[in-house]
Structure 1
Amino acid sequence: MPRMEEREAGDAAALDALICSADRPFVIRGLVAEWPLVQAGKRSAKEARDYLVDHARKRPFTVSLGPPGHDGRLFYDSDMEMNFQTARGDLAAIFKGIDDNEGRANPPTIYLTSVDVHDFFDGLHEANHVDLGNRQPITSIWIGTRTVVAAHNDFPDNLACCAVGRRRFTVFPPDQFPNLYLGPIDNTPAGRAVSMVDFHDPDWDAHPRFAEAVKHGLVADLEPGDAVFVPSLWWHHVEGRDGFNAMINYWWRETPRWLGQPQDALNHAILAVRDLPEDEKAIWRQLFDYYVFENGPEVAAHIPEGKRGILDPLTAETAGRIRAFLMRTINQ
């Protein structure tokens, strides 16, 4: 696959300009090279772990544990159950498991996913962060042994910073989802539907359309200190390629947080619309186009101003009314 485009950003204003104008992923080499966590990891993986423990709060962390034999792939087993279990423990104790297995040829997988930096660490954000201007991102850290996370997408924009170890991102445009052979949307490794294709050993007989996805894919190999920007809804397959890896990422929406999650609307549409007779579904498709996807001025122009309810541009108040209405009707 072709390599992802590389860009440069000398300061926060330049980074903001890159993000605002981006319609595809890009890499920035050395964006966070001066972070203390990056510098600790370059000295040794153990020093990076010690640095994280020194900043960790005394509270249980949730960790995913996979047995040897999966090469770090966090995925389904033959019964479509997860091939890993979750546990909770002190960060130092979790890291001892990594220490004890360091250097082994086939170690178990130990992975802490999407840990909120502000909730679980003191001072880590202040010493290791990217200035994203007026954005108010969710800041998460991902820590663990060698891992392979199946291709998935996220609703927010994503700036992922490789802090310790090397990482590989393989990305695909949003419209490639039919060629990625997505798994269940309600039984997922981490809340998002994932590609069922094993990127390291594709089954071309079972997944022939993946060859088309490959034509549109991009690859980025990140070293410690590098960052990648993945726009909303782009599919990304992520590999932690060393015995110990840490990544800090930032998620944000350009739309207000009080808006609903599109995935919830999709789930509700499956419940309410998908299995209707075809003639009724055709009518509902027209209604969705009219009210949601097209949403032209003719939708509400004939209704007096101030009386249009949720057909007016949404506010936090009207969004709250919709949410309350949905909660009442779904539970009936």
Structure 2
Amino acid sequence: MPAMPAMTAMTAMRELHGLHADALPEAVLTSTQPLLLRGLVAHWPVARAGLQGPHAVADYLRGFGADAAVGVLLGPPEIGGRFFYNDSLTGMNFRREGGRLGRVLDALLQLAAAPPGAPPPPALYVGSTSVDSCLPGFRAANDLGDAGVQAREPLASLWLGNRTRIAAHFDLPDNIACVVAGRRRFTLFPPEAVADLYVGPLDLTPAGQAISLVDMAAPDFERFPRFAKALQVAQVAELAPGDAIFIPSLWWHQVEALEPFNVLVNYWWRQSPAQMDSPMATLLMALLTLRDLPPAQREAWRALFSHYVFDADGDTAAHIAPHARSVLAPLDAGGAQALRQQIIKRLTR
């Protein structure tokens, strides 16, 4: 098997220093490139606890919600922390369970206390858990107080676990992820790298988003030769407690937790109007209605999409009287609902 290109071949992410969590520049919140925000939340009490060690941060979190219900992913030791598919791509290599935050913290501390040379531990991961429901009161002392962030009404989520690896995937929202305990390595790929990431099924996914099938710890370049091209445009950053990263919408990102005990808090929001549905619905509909058409018809539809969607501007419907533009007019909440009903009617004929 060809050797993996050196990690140093990837580009170090642009770093910003000296930013304050209560006064983030708008250019950061609307960036189209990833940004490493060194020390952004180092003043948070939870990040200071994270620097003291796992027991300190676990005790701090217990003070807000030891009895909170959380969803837990559990994987056997042999997966090496990589939450992924089973060998046949018919299911996953982990199981899901429910638990209490305090019990999960106890389990993580017990696993972290294993002596050197102990057998590999199972993988334990709690992902995308609402901070407001799980840790009431936490954000009073640990929050991005920036007015621009808060005006976007972000969803704040908690993530914790031991040494885990989450395959490259993209999210629709913009994302500021804040490491408060342990260390994490983020490897990001631009949206246009999709063809070189060898993405798996769209409808059977580990956590709702399609993922790259390449194991970055040991990529098989015979099976996935174009992944070498993806590495050439990758950006990498390693975060310690107090550091944060801005991940723009639709950027692919792999996340590796590098310590036996890791905690992250993230904020995500959409820049699109509230009435807009997810573009993923359009992609799935296109698979249903466009992909298998004869090539000439696909090209004709490409022209229509370019005209009405990707190249649309003020001239697209200028020849139509404003009162008659209907769905070609800028959509408000009422127009979006009317269009949604038209789509449902077409699908149920």
TM-score for the superposition, normalised by structure 1: 0.94
How many Å apart are 1:298 and its aligned residue?
Answer: 4.3
Q: Report deviation, 1:40.
A: 1.6
SS in structure 1 opposite 2:322? coil
1:54 is aligned with what amino acid?
A: G
Matched, 1:10 2:27: no
Q: What is the DSSP-based 3-state SS (H/G/I as helix, E as strand, rest coil) of the residue aligned with 1:220?
A: strand
Q: 1:109 aligns with which of 123, 148, 159?
A: 123
Question: Number of residues paired by the alignment?
Answer: 332
Runs of 4+ deviating beyond 4 Å: none
2:312 maps to which of 281, 295, 298 = 295
Counterparts of 1:58 and 1:12, CA distance in 2: 29
Q: Which of 97, 100, 119 does residue 133 from structure 2 map onto?
A: 119
Query: Where do residues 224-263 of structure 1 align in structure 2 (5 Å cutoff)?
Result: 224-263=241-280
Per-residue displacement from partner, 1:29-82 (whole Å, max 9, x unpaired)? 111111111122222212212222221274421111111111111111201121
Matched, 1:98 2:108: yes
- Tell me by how many angstroms 1:100 deviates: 3.2
Cα deviation per residue 1:109-141 (whole Å; 9 max; x = unaligned)? 111111111122211122111123222111111
SS of the aligned residue for 1:248 comes to: strand
Q: How far apart, CA to CA, are the structure 1 residues paired with 2:56 and 2:315?
A: 63
Q: Secondary structure at the match of 2:125?
A: strand
What do the CA deviations read for 1:165-211 (whole angstroms, capped 9, x no partner)?
00001111111111111111111111111111111101010111111
Which position in structure 2 is the counterpart of 1:84? 94
Give the residue type in structure 2 aligned to 1:88: G
Of all paired residues, the percent bearing the same amino acid is 41
Distance 2:250 2:340 in 1: 24
Give the 5 Å matches for 1:133-144: 133=147, 134-144=151-161
Compared CA separation, residues 218 and 280, structure 1 to 2 (3 A): same
Mark the CA change 1:11 to 1:102 in structure 2 (over 3 Å): closer, same or farther: closer
Aligned to 1:72: 81
How far apart are the structure 1 equivalents of 2:275 and 2:210? 23
Instruction: Classify the secondary structure of the residue corresponding to 1:15.
Output: coil
- What letter is aligned with 1:182? V
1:23-42 superposed matches below 5 A = 23-42=32-51
Higher mean alpha-carbon deviation, 298-307 vs 313-322, is at 298-307
Gaps of 5+ in 2: 1-9
Q: 1:277 to 1:191 in 2, by over 3 A?
A: same
- Tell me the distance in 2 between the aligned counterparts of 1:157 and 1:252: 5
What is the match of residue 146 of structure 2? Answer: 132
Please tell me the root mean square deviation across aligned C-alpha atoms, in Å.
1.8
**How far off is 1:25 after superposition?**
1.0
Paired residues of 2:177 and 2:266 also in contact (CA < 8 A): yes
Larger CA deviation: 255-264 vs 162-171? 255-264
1:96 deviates by 2.8
Shift of 1:20: 4.6
Distance 1:119 1:330, change over 3 A: farther
Code of the aligned partner of 2:121: P
